[in-house]
């Protein structure tokens, strides 16, 4: 079930509740003061979970907005040349 965000009218703040999409109410009772809390206009978190696909999507989105800072380029081989493959099938590939 998706999560929906609500805000208390008595300044208790925001909280989330899970409801089926067909049965989501416009207001619920606040868990802090039992007052009226209205639903906010936000995207329901349909995919909020711990699946590996969601983890990958979150990591991809995070790296687009906050890329990891690296100290420099990746280390080169000791000879200074680019790494050479030892796979015999790669010898058939066309040369530049
Ligand atoms: Zn409240």
Please spell the DSSP secondary structure of 8-72, one letter per residue.
Answer: ETTS--EEEEE--GGG--SEEE-TTTS-EEEEP-----TT-S--HHHHHHHHHHHHHHSPPP-SS
Counting as low any pLDDT under 50, the low residues of the chain are none
- Token pair 């000791």 is found at 78
The string of pLDDT tens digits covering residues 62-86 is 888 888 888 888 777 666 676 778 8
Range 1-42: architecture per CATH: Single Sheet (2.20)
How far away, in angstroms, is 79 Cα from ligand 1 center?
67
- Cα–ligand 1 centroid distance for 39 (angstroms): 13
Q: Considering all CA atoms of the chain, what is the largest pairwise distance in Å, rounded to the nearest integer?
A: 74
Residue 38 Cα to ligand 1 middle (Å)? 10
Taking alpha carbons only, the member of 17, 21, 23 closest to residue 4 is 17
Q: What is the pTM of this model?
A: 0.47
From 33, 13, 17, select the one nearest 25 (Cα to Cα).
17
What's the confidence (pLDDT) of residue 77? 66
Query: For position 21, what pLDDT does the model report?
Result: 86
């Amino acid at each position: 079930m998706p999560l929906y965000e609500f805000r208390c009218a008595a300044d208790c703040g925001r909280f989330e509740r899970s409801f089926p999409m067909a049965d989501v109410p416009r207001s619920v009772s606040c868990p802090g003061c039992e007052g009226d809390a209205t639903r906010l206009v936000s995207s329901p978190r349909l995919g909020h979970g711990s699946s590996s696909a969601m983890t990958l999507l979150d990591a991809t989105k995070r790296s687009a907005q906050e890329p990891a800072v690296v100290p420099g380029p990746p280390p080169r081989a000791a000879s200074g040349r680019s790494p050479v493959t030892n796979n015999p099938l790669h010898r058939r590939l066309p040369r530049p």
